Chains A and B, each alone.
Chain A
Amino acid sequence: MQNTTVPVHILVTAADFDLAAEYAAARCDSTNPGAIVTFSGLVREVYSEHSCDDQDQTLTLEHYPGMTEQALKHIAEQAVARWPLQSVRIIHRVGTLLPADQIVLVICSSAHRHAAFESAEFIMDYLKTSAPFWKKQIRGDESYWVDSRESDYQAMARWQTGTDQKYGSK
């Protein structure tokens, strides 16, 4: 059953985030936490065979304001319903980012590590394919929309079978 008292923080922003500050806030939000898992996703550099100068490559994230926040909240609430969590924080950046920039942050706290690990992975797997973000890779004059990947759908689907969830569930 969903515990509505678990603090859930969702932020979609162009601004960068401070890992230490977010960790401190998650710690503060939690009641007697035994484990806090923080996942941060970074923008990878994409190489091409006909380009040796990748200085100018960027990744632009478009989103659907309003629906994005709702979708992230829904994903967080599913995690809260499934694991005994004490807090959830999700930050996702939008706009134009450079290689090595931070793009996404997920923090889950719990009494024990398995619930924190699994729920953070669950949130990331759902976020990839179920929140309205779109990535456009731009390098010089070339640009393309990043395709959705079958492996991302499979990563999400495995949570529906329950075979990968061994520990820490409610």
Chain B
Amino acid sequence: MLKINYFASVREQTGIGSENLELPAGINTTGELADYLAARGANWEVLRSPSDLLIAVNQAICSREQQLSADDEVAFFPPMTGG
């Protein structure tokens, strides 16, 4: 089961902070997962934007080409603004 986290503006737009999801058939990469989730509706379109969206798998930043495993922890969030 994937654990998916959403943070900050992405969390507010999708309306949820986290969810568990069975890795959908035919989805192999983070980018494919993002597009799959974006198809849920207008609130999810933020996941399509490669420029405004960062992706982490198992708490490490990765590209949209990162391969997914069934039990990965995935997170979607905007650029970071610490300090």
Q: List the one stretch of A80-88, A143-151, A160-168 in contact with chain B.
A: A143-151
Give the complex CA separation of A92 and B9 in angstroms: 20
- CB-based contact A134/B83 at 8 Å: no
Give the complex CA separation of A99 and B10 in angstroms: 26
Give the interface size bracket for B toward A.
Answer: 10 to 19
- CB-based contact B8/A145 at 8 Å: yes
Binary contact track B56-83/A, C-beta < 8 Å → 1, others 0 = 1001100000000000000101111111
Output the least CB separation between A169 and chain B (Å).
23
- For chains A and B in complex, what number of residue pairs have CB atoms within 8 angstroms? 67
Asked if A136 meets B83 with Cβ closer than 8 Å, knowing A67-B56, A145-B78, the reply is: no
Instruction: Tell me if A130 counts as interface (CB < 8 A to partner B).
Output: yes
The interface residues of chain B lying within 8 Å CB-to-CB of A135 are 81-82
Give the interface size bracket for A toward B.
Answer: 20 to 34
Q: List the one stretch of A1-9, A24-32, A121-129 in contact with chain B.
A: A121-129
Instruction: Tell me if B44 counts as interface (CB < 8 A to partner A).
Output: no
Instruction: Tell me if B28 counts as interface (CB < 8 A to partner A).
Output: no
Q: Which of B7, B8, B77, B80 is close to A130, meaning CB atoms less than 8 Å apart? A: B80
Q: Which residue of A lies closest to B59 (CB)?
A: A67
Interface residues of B (CB under 8 A from A): 5, 7-9, 11, 56, 59-60, 75, 77-83
